[in-house]
């Protein structure tokens, strides 16, 4: 019975699928994917980051198919990614080799190489530009040699040299990174797993968690030592010669956060500042900063802190857009059988409550005489306090469930007992 309506709705489901397809394709002035790629780069970069794949054309296609919904677009890209063959692995990249297009530090005014503002809305007023309605072209700023991409040293290196921040490892970690796409997460998770999940986490969810940590729901009030955007070289080992060769560059945004106050006079190997790292595809600075704050907070507590943002399991399960969206949105799909079961139980509890309330007459002591009790009730006392009561089922190991101000249980003979 429960599945009859589902089978009977197959034709309706197919029509609904055709409707959404027609709504995308049958428009008077369709947008070409190349236009989306050129004019909506930030939206595409967000979808690619959360979809864990870099391909601007596929990103534009996903944005078009999802009608601009970035989470749906990321879902499409993530699904497509699972069909691709894994051909090899890139060599770990050194972000000192990034060709920087934008680079700022919030901790030092004068940094080697200077601050490079680049493209940013940080210093603009958030006012609608109505000239865009007329597609008016604007004059490009003068481009001199200083505007060309360059490489720069890292700001955190100077903090390390001062002994305020833990030094960088002397050699690269030879341990195989945890692969969240092939191996289920285990908690507490290794740092490589945290970074993978956060690097493709949902931007809004990470922003909310980072903001909570800054407001006191987590031991973090970080400073941005440096945030940089540019093109990161991607290298692989040549299949014949075995030498490292560059196969291309991808746009990335990297954030280094530092958080003072971690020093200790008694514990060894404790430095005054802790370090958080964030990196993402494209120019998603908000996302990179949020990732750095969360990563620093999780590292401090080894993923076992009391606050949500300090706990590995809470953060890593809930920032993934595909997992969280899938679970929330599945609630609108048929739950006919399970709800009928809950509905029957709720009706039984509601009837019992009506019986108790309808036959209860509170005396001076708050008791009910046995003559006034319904036949299915052994003893009853009205509890006027707002505290929740509990309801016990034989098949419930915890023994009780709360209902309205009464504590009642099932007796062995099937009757109910109220206390």
Contact 75, 325 (CB under 8 A): yes
Residue 342 placed within a domain: no
Residue 251: pLDDT above 70? yes
**Total of domains in the chain:** 3
Tell me the mean pLDDT in the region 336-361: 88
| 161 and 275 inside one domain | yes
| 316 and 405 inside one domain | no
Residue 1 placed within a domain: no
Residue 89: pLDDT above 90? no
pLDDT score for 360: 66
Tell me the mean pLDDT in the region 5-20: 76
| 360 and 307 inside one domain | no
| 157 and 237 inside one domain | yes
pLDDT score for 289: 95
The CB density around residue 95, as the number of other CB atoms within 10 Å, is 17
Residue 89 placed within a domain: no
Residue 136 placed within a domain: no
Q: Which of 61, 324, 25, 272 is nearest to 162 (CA)?
A: 272
| 173 and 61 inside one domain | no
Residue 71: pLDDT above 90? yes
Residue 36: pLDDT above 80? yes
Q: Which of 183-197, 251-265, 306-320, 402-416 has the lowest average pLDDT?
A: 402-416
> Residue 87 is encoded by which pair of tokens?
């051909």
Angle 266-270-271 (CA atoms, 0-180°, nearest 5)? Answer: 125
Q: Which residue has the tokens 């809305």?
A: 121
Tell me the mean pLDDT in the region 34-59: 94
Q: Which of 95, 118, 113, 100 is nearest to 233 (CA)?
A: 95
pLDDT top residue among 361 and 260 = 260
Residue 417: pLDDT above 50? no
Residue 131 placed within a domain: no
| 100 and 191 inside one domain | yes
> Residue 391 is encoded by which pair of tokens?
């309801």
| Interatomic CA distance for residues 137 and 119, integer angstroms | 17
The CB density around residue 106, as the number of other CB atoms within 10 Å, is 15
| 248 and 301 inside one domain | yes
| 250 and 207 inside one domain | yes
| 113 and 226 inside one domain | yes
The CB density around residue 53, as the number of other CB atoms within 10 Å, is 19
Tell me the mean pLDDT in the region 3-16: 68
How many angstroms separate the first and last alpha carbons of the chain? Answer: 39
Q: Which residue has the tokens 């101000």?
A: 405
| Interatomic CA distance for residues 170 and 342, integer angstroms | 60
pLDDT > 70: what percent of the chain? Answer: 80
pLDDT score for 263: 67
| 155 and 302 inside one domain | yes
pLDDT score for 104: 94
Tell me the mean pLDDT in the region 352-368: 67
pLDDT score for 408: 42
| 353 and 302 inside one domain | no
Tell me the mean pLDDT in the region 330-342: 89
Q: Phi/psi at 150 (nearest 5 deg)?
A: -140, 170
Task: Work out whether strand 273-281 and strand 391-392 pair parallel, antiparallel, or are unpaired.
Answer: unpaired
pLDDT score for 242: 87
Residue 285: pLDDT above 50? yes
Question: pLDDT band at 44, cuts 50/70/90?
Answer: very high
| Integer angstrom CA distances of residue 291 from 18, 29, 208, 232, 412 | 39, 39, 11, 19, 55
The CB density around residue 193, as the number of other CB atoms within 10 Å, is 21
> Which of the listed residues 330, 355, 370 is the one where a domain comes to its end?
330
What average pLDDT does the structure give for the chain?
81
The CB density around residue 87, as the number of other CB atoms within 10 Å, is 7
Residue 413: pLDDT above 50? no
| Interatomic CA distance for residues 201 and 320, integer angstroms | 5
Residue 337 placed within a domain: no
Tens of pLDDT, residue by residue over 171-226, are 777 788 899 988 888 888 899 999 999 999 999 999 999 999 999 887 678 899 99
Edge-first strand listing for the sheet containing 273-281: 99-104, 223-237, 244-260, 273-281
Tell me the mean pLDDT in the region 325-335: 89
Question: pLDDT band at 296, cuts 50/70/90?
Answer: very high
Residue 97: pLDDT above 80? yes
The CB density around residue 407, as the number of other CB atoms within 10 Å, is 19
> Which of the listed residues 330, 364, 398 is the one where a domain comes to its end?
330
Residue 419: pLDDT above 80? no
Owning domain of residue 385: 347-418
Residue 126 placed within a domain: no
Residue 69: pLDDT above 70? yes
Question: Which region holds residue 181: left if phi is over 0, alpha if psi is between -120 and 50, else beta?
Answer: alpha
Residue 321: pLDDT above 50? yes
Residue 415: pLDDT above 80? no
Residue 12 placed within a domain: no
Q: Which residue has the tokens 């945030």?
A: 227
Could you tell me the maximum CA-CA distance found in the chain, to the nearest angstrom? Answer: 97
| 237 and 99 inside one domain | yes
Strand partners, 311: 304
| Interatomic CA distance for residues 19 and 209, integer angstroms | 37
């Amino acid at each position: 019975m429960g599945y009859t309506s589902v089978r009977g709705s197959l034709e309706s489901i197919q029509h609904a699928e055709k409707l959404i397809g027609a709504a995308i394709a049958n428009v008077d002035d369709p947008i070409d994917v190349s236009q989306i790629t050129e004019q909506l780069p930030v939206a595409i970069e967000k979808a690619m980051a959360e979809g864990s794949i870099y391909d601007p054309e596929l990103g534009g296609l996903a944005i078009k198919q999802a009608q601009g919904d970035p989470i749906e677009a990321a879902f499409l890209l993530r699904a497509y990614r699972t069909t691709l063959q894994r051909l090899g692995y890139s060599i770990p990249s050194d972000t000192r080799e990034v060709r920087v297009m934008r680079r700022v530090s919030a901790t030092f005014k004068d940094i080697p190489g200077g601050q490079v503002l680049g493209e940013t809305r940080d210093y603009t007023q958030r006012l609608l530009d109505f000239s865009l309605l007329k597609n008016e072209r604007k004059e490009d700023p003068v481009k001199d040699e200083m505007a060309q991409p360059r490489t720069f040293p890292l700001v955190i290196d100077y903090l390390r040299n001062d002994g305020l921040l833990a030094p960088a490892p002397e050699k690269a970690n030879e341990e195989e990174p945890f692969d969240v796409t092939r191996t289920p997460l285990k908690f507490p998770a290794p740092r490589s797993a945290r970074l993978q999940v956060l690097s493709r986490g949902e931007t809004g969810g990470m922003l909310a968690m980072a903001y909570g940590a800054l407001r006191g729901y987590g031991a973090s009030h970080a400073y941005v030592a440096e945030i940089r955007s540019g093109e990161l070289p991607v290298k692989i080992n040549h299949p014949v010669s075995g030498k490292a060769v560059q196969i291309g560059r991808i746009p990335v945004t990297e954030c280094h956060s530092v958080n003072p106050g971690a020093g200790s006079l008694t514990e060894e190997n404790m430095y005054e500042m802790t370090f958080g790292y964030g990196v993402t595809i494209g120019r998603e600075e908000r996302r990179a900063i949020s990732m750095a704050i969360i990563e620093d907070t999780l590292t401090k507590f080894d993923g076992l802190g009391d606050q949500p943002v300090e706990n590995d399991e809470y953060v890593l399960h809930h920032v993934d857009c595909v997992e969280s969206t899938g679970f929330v949105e599945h609630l609108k799909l048929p739950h006919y059988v399970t709800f009928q079961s809950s509905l029957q139980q709720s009706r039984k509890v509601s009837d019992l409550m009506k019986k108790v309330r309808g036959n209860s007459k509170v005396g001076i002591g708050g008791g009910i005489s046995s003559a006034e009790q319904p036949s299915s009730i052994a003893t009853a006392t009205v509890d006027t306090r707002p505290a929740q009561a509990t309801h016990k089922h034989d098949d419930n190991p915890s023994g009780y469930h709360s209902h309205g101000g009464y504590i009642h249980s099932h007796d062995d003979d099937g009757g109910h007992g109220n206390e």
